[in-house]
Structure 1
Amino acid sequence: MYFSDFPFPERYESFITRKDVLDYLNMYADRFNLRPLVKLNCLVRNVRPLKDDRWEVTYLHKPTNETIRKVYDVVIVCNGHYNVPIYPEVIGEELFQGKKEHSRDYRHNGPYKDKRVLIIGAGPSGVDLTNQISEVAECVLFSTHSAVVAKQTYRENVIKKPDVSRIVDHETVEFTDGTTSRCDVIIYCTGYQYSFPFLDDSCGIKVEDGVIQPLYKHIINIERPTMCFIGLPFIVAAFLTFDVQTKYYCKYLDGSLKLPSKEEMYQDTENEKKWRSEKGISSNKFHMMGSLEQKYYDDLAAEAGIEPLPRVALKIKLASKDRQATDIQNYRRDRFVVLDDDNFILYESACDYPECKET
């Protein structure tokens, strides 16, 4: 999770805390003297292109409640996709009288003490919340169809359930296997949707079925290349994605990267859609990387002439995922030591680090 030009402090563990991440970002800002360049407490209301290829940005300065308009040469959209929750439609949902939440709202497990909690969704958030809430809850009903989760071992008060078929009454949920369970809280760990409410229609960006278009390499607005998006891909090592994408775009800004013609960029995007379809990837997962992640980074590096991402980074990510699948309770105590750009040593928590497994 660190940027290539500023490694983590040696005191950090392999699995860092939220506080560590915040401290690291503050240290990064101080190291490169970024604070004078950043305007905080500004809510962007509208972004629209001008005739001279520049951008008018309208924003609210919240401390003074003043609306300000300024013109910029480049707009880089970095609002991410972990803010606007996706809530699935559940039959009978209006009957439920307990609390309904999204993983976005979770801060700590205190409010769930002695509760019966239903968690829907088996992505990273679903797994983490199940693990944390089960420390204090009466029981956790973990609703998922994930084959990986089916093999994982959780605390005794975690009950694995299939998908929810409907809500029966004020506290009862029915699952697709016909069983029913009572719960006090439902937490949806069902992901997020892309949202850019501040972009004027004249920007030419559309979000349709989870796909942002028209973009080249999931980054550059094909029609207006002085606008780009950082961090759209999902199932990625996020900070590494930000790092590589930003370096790529900076090469365009300084003139060392020459973009193909509009026609060629559109064709490249269509070729990728076709290629993904042939691999069985549904159209609404166009920005998903997963096993395609290293190839994506390598393609960006090759086109922009930047240093490729060391393969050890994603090797560690995959090794961590394997450890999570086999030891969900303890894998965050593992330690990884990087040897070089291709190799690392894994110290597993179970053996308290006296021995190591070299990969």
Structure 2
Amino acid sequence: MNSWSRSEKAARMADLPQAPAQLSKGAEADLQVDIEAHSVAADASQQRVCIIGAGKAGLVACKVLHERGIPFDCFETGSQIGGLWVLNSDSGRSACYDSLCTNTSKLRTCFHDFPMPEHYPMFCTHKQILEYLEAYTEHFGFREHITFRTEVVSILPSLKDVCTVITKDVETGKVQERQYGSVIAACGHHWDPLWPDLKGEFKGTMIHAHSYRSPEPFEGRRVLIIGGGNSGMDIAAELAQSGAARILLSCRRRVHVVPRYTFGKPTDTRLKPWLGVTAPKGLLQLGATAVIRLSRGSQERFNFPPPKAGLLRVHPTVEPGSGNILEMIRDGQVLARPGIQHVKGHTVHFVDGSKEEVDDIICATGYNVRCAFLPADCSVMENGKPELMHHIVHPKLPGVYFLGFIQAHGPMIPCFEAQMPYAADLIQGAIELPSEEEMRKQIAKQHELNRQSFAQIERLALLVEFHRYLLQLRLARCPQSKSWLGRRLWKTRTFMSFCAGNLC
């Protein structure tokens, strides 16, 4: 059951609309809604959990609930598990392309209790990740709880300690209403493309990186990629080696490029948990910068200076799997350009006064962070900042928990594996949430910590310090029933265990 009492939940829900749930944006207005009320006892509904999405976060949620014996249903819009790692997914939400591979090593990307096969390369292809997720699902035996080709179009918490979930069968259009005690939103935030605000009119072809699949359509063409993140640089490196006539990379802000390996070992294995939570951030930043500089050299020598903000104050770009982007920039295979001033026809004018003729533009400019199924007056983001305590719980949505709405200096699977047990503890009542007022105070503290820790760029609003965030979630799971001394001892043991490498 949920951690709020009925009276507390009623008070919190007073400001939410109690009208019938609305369909997601873009749904047809004349959709024939066939509401099927499931004849499930009220107490059973309060126990049952709805999971939205069967990507990595959704699979972690399924596994944790399955092991704890908590009844649940998982709904996936596509016809298979895997989320973002499915090439040409019929969900329409995956940005996977032919050459996509991980930018974190298999040593850090794997589930803590299900290692990746030894024969996998250190950085895996999307086919290998999908195969791994399939094996994980079969190993823990929860596939039968996943319903495919079913979209969650609306959720609306009610005053009866349950959430009303409206689902739609993608094939038939049939809509059903179900009741759940809790909802896990594991749908991610890399599905709604964010387009750049370009002044002028471009006469060529412009797509978002979300739609990019292979380099073949760009052979012999002049291509401009907007954005220096992981996708932008990966696509630029691939196109430069695949027959494109001219490749330009426009970065409005300079970025740090981190090599996959330093001194022969994966860079993401260098920082140990105990050091990540005990060393001052300035010292960590100095050490990480020194290791990269000694191993590869400075970015300046590649004619691509890093930003003034330190390495750990931004979200760095990991060297693409499709080639050494810095060497390509130095050798002129990829031409680095600043931000765009305006476009006219096929001519792109940059802020430094230079201009280039291009045939195509690929916008690797990120995604809008939103959930289309939430009530109209509830949003994951408010004024460009996450409105989630611990990046999981919304103060106005009792019983709804969000997984994966973060960015981290590290792989995402350990983050999911830390978030879900915390959510499951809340669902089972092992721990309780504070009052709404206290939750908002904690969210304000999160915003202030983000301001102190990272450059104030809107796309960094979800950024967390990897090890410190995982430890924070571990400590937040301290049982309420323990005495003051018991809680102190529990947290000490938990801290020691975390420093020893037990991250979840």
TM-score, length-scaled by structure 2: 0.57
1:138-157 paired onto structure 2 within 5 Å: 138-144=245-251, 145-148=253-256, 150-151=304-305, 152-154=326-328, 156-157=332-333
Alpha-carbon distance in 2 for matches of 1:224, 1:200 = 9
Match of 1:18? Answer: 126
How big is each residue's C-alpha offset from its partner over 1:167-204, in whole Å with a ceiling of 9 and x where there is no partner? 1x3211111111111111101111101121211237x4
- The code of the aligned residue for 2:371 comes to F
Match of 1:317? Answer: none
Match of 1:240? Answer: 414
Residue 376 of structure 2 is aligned with which of 197, 201, 223?
A: 201
How big is each residue's C-alpha offset from its partner over 1:307-333, in whole Å with a ceiling of 9 and x where there is no partner? 779989xxxxxxxxxxxxxxxxxxxxx
Deviates more, 1:278-287 or 1:247-256: 278-287
1:309 to 1:194, Cα distance in 2 relative to 1, 3 A: farther
**Paired-residue identity, %:** 28
Residue 216 of structure 2 is aligned with which of 102, 106, 110?
A: 110
Residue 177 of structure 1 is aligned with which of 329, 333, 352?
A: 352
Match of 2:366? Answer: 191
How big is each residue's C-alpha offset from its partner over 1:302-358, in whole Å with a ceiling of 9 and x where there is no partner? 22159779989xxxxxxxxxxxxxxxxxxxxxxxxxxx949xxxxxxxxxxxxxxxx
Preserved CA contact (<8 Å) 1:273 1:283: no
Alpha-carbon distance in 2 for matches of 1:117, 1:311 = 47
Match of 1:84? Answer: 192
- The code of the aligned residue for 1:68 comes to Q
3-state DSSP class of the match of 2:148? coil
Match of 1:31? Answer: 139
Q: Which runs of 5+ in 1 are unaligned?
A: 313-339, 343-359
1:1-359 paired onto structure 2 within 5 Å: 1-92=109-200, 94=201, 96-136=202-242, 137-144=244-251, 145-148=253-256, 150-151=304-305, 152-154=326-328, 156-167=332-343, 169-201=344-376, 204-205=378-379, 207-213=381-387, 215-236=388-409, 237-279=411-453, 281-282=455-456, 284=458, 287-289=461-463, 292-305=465-478, 341=501
Q: CA deviation at 1:299?
A: 0.6
Alpha-carbon distance in 1 for matches of 2:131, 2:336 = 36
1:16 to 1:70, Cα distance in 2 relative to 1, 3 A: same
3-state DSSP class of the match of 2:447? helix
1:268 to 1:90, Cα distance in 2 relative to 1, 3 A: same
Alpha-carbon distance in 2 for matches of 1:286, 1:116 = 31
3-state DSSP class of the match of 2:133? helix
Alpha-carbon distance in 1 for matches of 2:467, 2:138 = 30
Match of 1:315? Answer: none
1:54 to 1:147, Cα distance in 2 relative to 1, 3 A: closer
Alpha-carbon distance in 1 for matches of 2:111, 2:472 = 19
Alpha-carbon distance in 1 for matches of 2:446, 2:385 = 13
- The code of the aligned residue for 1:258 comes to E
3-state DSSP class of the match of 1:220? coil
Alpha-carbon distance in 1 for matches of 2:236, 2:138 = 37
RMSD: 2.5
How big is each residue's C-alpha offset from its partner over 1:135-186, in whole Å with a ceiling of 9 and x where there is no partner? 121111011131536152216421111111111x321111111111111110
3-state DSSP class of the match of 2:348? strand
Alpha-carbon distance in 2 for matches of 1:74, 1:271 = 26
Q: CA deviation at 1:130?
A: 0.9
Across the two proteins, how many residue pairs are aligned to each other? 309
1:276 to 1:259, Cα distance in 2 relative to 1, 3 A: same
- The code of the aligned residue for 1:3 comes to F
Q: Greater share of strand residues, 1 or 2?
A: 1
Preserved CA contact (<8 Å) 1:117 1:183: yes
Q: CA deviation at 1:9?
A: 1.2
- The code of the aligned residue for 1:41 comes to R
Alpha-carbon distance in 2 for matches of 1:200, 1:147 = 36
Alpha-carbon distance in 2 for matches of 1:254, 1:274 = 31
Preserved CA contact (<8 Å) 2:371 2:379: no
Match of 1:357? Answer: none
Match of 2:279? Answer: none
Preserved CA contact (<8 Å) 1:48 1:55: yes
Q: CA deviation at 1:278?
A: 3.9
Alpha-carbon distance in 2 for matches of 1:273, 1:50 = 29
Deviates more, 1:82-91 or 1:221-230: 221-230
Q: CA deviation at 1:301?
A: 1.0
Q: Which runs of 5+ in 2 are unaligned?
A: 1-108, 258-303, 306-325, 479-490
